Amino acid sequence: MDNIVSWKYQRQLPRTNTDAFEQALEHMEPAIDVGEVKGNDDLWLFTAFFNTETPRKQLVAAIETAEKVAGIHDEAQPIVLQGVQDEDWQANVVHSFPPVVESGFFIYGFDAEVPEDKVGLHIPAGIAFGTGEHATTALCLRLYEAETAKRTFKNALDMGAGSGILAMAAAKVQETPVLAVEIDPPSTEVCHENAVNNCVEQYVTSICGDGFNAPGVDAREPYDLIFANILRNPLLEMAEGLVNVLADGGIAILSGFTVEQRDDIREAYGKLGLKEVSTDEKDNWTALCMTK
């Protein structure tokens, strides 16, 4: 058992609880994969790999707490952690994080040959949010690609950048300068490292701060493109700040909310003068493209 390099946790859970569960686990920095359960549109298969630095009993207790926070804990369903041996680690992770093709993008975590007709985005396995497999990110990429057929963006903002995948997409497709904002230093550093690894650090500037109050946001406005792939409540709270820095005729791509929550976002931003351009859905998540 000495050559165990990771603990693997896997279970099915309601897709409506997945977002909350991922956030509850975030402080433990697991590598997370979420996939569909064949034959059941209401469930997702959730897989997480944890490092072995945390004692197993402590890890189980932390996962139990996260389950309770997300409203999915079941006393009748014990938490099982499977030890992943050193020689199995690469195979396990590669299997759980295969390349993802979304619109014109090819998102991969390990060495892979990028198809000639795709834009490659290299995101190390283990970054849960902001990967092409997450429905909200995929939706943002779809809506962004549709807009690039109409215009060239000159100045972009990625609010709640996560891995930086949306910022890097804009940098690679149109060489657009992007300000990528994250609320905590570790996420900001991850975003910067990913930009470097994708050779777009000259276009992507990663900063740490509190939303539209982050230093530097006002200095670079107005933005003709804003990504905001966050949750419903933060999107509602940030609505006025976002609209204030969006250029006239600019595009805001909003996601991170469910189909049932779409009208809340549409109404809030509509009251501030934005008009809907398009919308899309995936796995009960949705995104809006709006213009000023």
Question: Within a domain: residue 74?
Answer: yes
- What is the reported pLDDT for 128? 40
Same domain, 67 and 198: no
Q: Among residues 164, 181, 177, which one has the least CA distance to residue 223?
A: 177
More confident residue, 101 or 263: 263
Question: Within a domain: residue 120?
Answer: no
- What is the reported pLDDT for 227? 98
Same domain, 138 and 282: yes
> Is the backbone peptide bond immediately before 124 cis, with ω within 30 degrees of 0?
no
Residue 248's domain spans which residues?
130-291
Least confident residue range of 90-94, 120-124, 141-145, 160-164: 90-94
- pTM of the predicted structure, to 2 decimals: 0.73
* Domain count within the chain: 2
Q: What is the pLDDT of residues 20-72, one digit of tens each?
A: 898 888 888 887 777 777 777 788 888 888 888 888 899 999 999 999 999 99
Same domain, 154 and 85: no
Same domain, 67 and 206: no
Question: Within a domain: residue 122?
Answer: no
Question: Within a domain: residue 112?
Answer: no
Q: Please state, in angstroms and rounded to a whole number, the distance separating the CA atoms of residues 11 and 8.
A: 10
Same domain, 80 and 137: no
Q: Among residues 81, 41, 29, 91, which one has the least CA distance to residue 57?
A: 81
Q: What is the CATH number of the domain that holds 207?
A: 3.40.50.150
Burial (CB count <10 Å: 0-12, 13-18, 19+), residue 220: middle
- What is the reported pLDDT for 172? 98
Average pLDDT, the chain: 88
Q: What is the pLDDT of residues 149-162, one digit of tens each?
A: 999 999 999 999 98
Same domain, 154 and 267: yes
Same domain, 258 and 187: yes
Q: Please state, in angstroms and rounded to a whole number, the distance separating the CA atoms of residues 92 and 99.
A: 14
Q: Please state, in angstroms and rounded to a whole number, the distance separating the CA atoms of residues 20 and 72.
A: 10
Question: Within a domain: residue 101?
Answer: no
Same domain, 278 and 159: yes
Which tokens hold the place of 14?
């309601």
Q: To the nearest 10°, the Cα dihedral for 108, 32, 50, 64?
A: 180
